[in-house]
Amino acid sequence: MTQPTTIQRDPARRPRLLDLFCCQGGASMGYRHAGFDVTGVDLAPQPRYPFRFVQGDAIEFVREHGAEFDFIHASPPCQRYSRAQKIQHRDHPDLIAPTRTALEATGRPWVIENVEEAAPELRDPVTLCAAAFGMRTYRHRLFETGGGFTLPQPHHPEHLAPLTKMGRPRAQGHFAHYVGNFSGVHDARLDLRVPWMNRDGIRECIPPAYTHWTGTHARHSLRAKAVAA
């Protein structure tokens, strides 16, 4: 078990954020905009990742180094919970439970993010929707919080705009569906605000707006704890 250590917080420095299973860095970018100094960890090389990057096993890394950070974000791979994988009878390991155990051992505040289909594995998650942040798509992501951090549920607008079918250009007045071999990578980059990503990254990314919102609440929480201490 990683033993929590006291972090001496200099008001002039950015708090340190660890992004586990970071992929191409959608979540990391939002936390950076919220004022964090970000480090990403992923098992696969991520040449498009825009910040400090460590290639390695995310769970092993947080066990060894998690207590060195002020806040931790984790996005365990969602393939186990996706409808497509179930239809194709593919088996993937459950990484949410071991990730949670490793995060709890750090003594730091954290979030675990995943897709809607992972809801049975998550504890009282908050739902974030792209439409609530002004994007022209519906991309629901669930955020479980822990380590003393809580996240309020934002307004979730009613889904009124129709979705253009996957693979077709966005129709006038429609929202897009950025999954599979979707059409319009340039439009998706602009819509999700991820100009450095390719199609593979966009398909799975967390829009930075989600973690800018989450990170802003995290910064407020960290400041409140620092004042109380």
User: Nearest Cα to 54, choosing from 15, 25, 95?
Assistant: 25
Is the pLDDT reported for residue 91 higher than 80? no
- Quote the distance between the C-alpha of residue 124 and its chain's center: 16
Assessment of whether the complete model's pTM goes beyond 0.85: yes
Q: Rounded mean pLDDT of 89-113?
A: 89
CB of 207 closer than 8 Å to CB of 192: yes
The mean pLDDT value of the chain amounts to 90
Distance CA 95, CA 4 (A): 23
What is the spatial distance between Cα 26 and Cα 97, in angstroms, rounded to a whole number? 23
For the chain, first and last CA: distance in Å?
25
Q: Which domains does the chain have, with CATH numbers?
A: 16-127+141-150+206-228 (3.40.50.150)
Q: 12-63, pLDDT tens digit by residue?
A: 689 999 999 999 999 999 999 999 999 999 999 999 999 999 999 999 999 9
Give tens-digit pLDDT for 149-196: 999 999 899 999 998 887 777 888 899 989 888 888 999 999 999 999
pLDDT of residue 92: 61
Q: Structure tokens of 53?
A: 């990057």
* Token pair belonging to 91: 């088996």
SS3 178: coil
Residues of the chain above pLDDT 90, percent = 75
pLDDT exceeds 50 at position 115: yes
Give residue 8's pLDDT.
45
Q: How confident is the model at residue 87 (pLDDT cuts 50, 70, 90)?
A: very low
Which residue blocks in the chain are alpha helix, DSSP H?
26-33, 58-65, 83-87, 96-106, 185-192, 199-204, 208-228
Q: Does 81 have pLDDT greater than 70?
A: no
Higher-pLDDT residue of 4, 202: 202
1-5, 113-117, 165-169, range with the lowest pLDDT? 1-5
Instruction: Quote the pLDDT of residue 13.
Output: 85
User: Could you tell me the CA-to-CA distances from 133 to 76, 138, 154 in Å, in that order?
Assistant: 23, 10, 10
CB 192 within 8 A of CB 135: yes
pLDDT at residue 80 is higher than 70: no
Residue 170: what pLDDT? 83
Spatial distance between the Cα atoms of 57 and 55, rounded to a whole number of angstroms: 7
Model confidence at 72, pLDDT cuts 50, 70, 90, reads very high
| C-alpha span between 195 and 189 (Å, rounded) | 5
Sign of the Cα torsion 173, 187, 51, 64 reads positive
Q: Which two structure tokens, joined as six digits, stand for 212? A: 């800018």
CA atoms within 13 A on the CB side of 26: 25
* Residue 4, pLDDT above cutoff 60: no
DSSP assignment, residue 117? G
